[in-house]
Amino acid sequence: MATERSEDYLEAIDSIIGLKGYARVKDVSEILGVGPSSVTEMFQKLSEDGYINYEKYGGATLTSKGKKIAKNTRKKHQMLQDFLLILGVDDKIADMDACRVEHVLNPETLDRLTKFVEFVQIKEKEPRWLEHFNYYYETGRYVECTRDTSDECPVHGKKGNKSK
């Protein structure tokens, strides 16, 4: 089973392979912000575990086992980042937090979050309840708003919606 650190390496290797066709120690070192000797050590471990094909002083490619883990890690990362962006988290923070959380979520939680993100993204426009959440986040005030009372709503009403 791949560790959190292994997943990060495999995801980085996969990104580099997408650009260059192979990944070198130097490339992974730059992306992950670790020393070349650490990358070399991890390349050897990933190779022994059957995740990459690696020749010393050469490039690395992913095995089918490594590709599967890299793909799943990237998929989790993207979904978590999308979730955080839906909540209004800054892009950079969402990316960093997704990188941390992608390794520790229970599969049931991950499945639930994935369905939530898919559900929210089905609509072209932001759902009303999400607009209310953003208002609550900004002001700390909860508003009761229905389609019948939206004229008085500070989010959707004539006072709250400047486009009306």
Residue 162 has pLDDT above 60, yes or no: no
Residue 164 has pLDDT above 80, yes or no: no
Assess whether 115 and 84 both reside in one domain: yes
Task: Please report whether residue 16 resides in a domain.
Answer: yes
Tally of domains in the chain: 3
Q: What is the pTM of this model?
A: 0.79
Q: Of residues 65 and 163, which shows the higher confidence score?
A: 65
Residue 99 structural domain: 79-122
pLDDT in tens, 139-161: 999 888 877 887 888 887 765 55
Residue 111 has pLDDT above 60, yes or no: yes
Task: Please report whether residue 74 resides in a domain.
Answer: no
Task: Please report whether residue 48 resides in a domain.
Answer: yes
Q: Are 12 and 19 in contact (CB under 8 A)?
A: no
CB atoms within 10 A of CB 129: 10
Task: Please report whether residue 17 resides in a domain.
Answer: yes
Task: Please report whether residue 73 resides in a domain.
Answer: no
CA dihedral of residues 148, 151, 156, 160 (deg, nearest 10): -160
The amino acid occupying position 40 is T
pLDDT in tens, 51-104: 999 988 888 999 999 999 999 999 999 999 999 999 999 999 999 999 999 989
> Tokens 């009403």 map to which residue?
157
Q: What is the CATH number of the domain that holds 34?
A: 1.10.10.10
* pLDDT (mean) for 3-25: 95
Which residue, 68, 90, 110, sits at the end of a domain?
Answer: 68
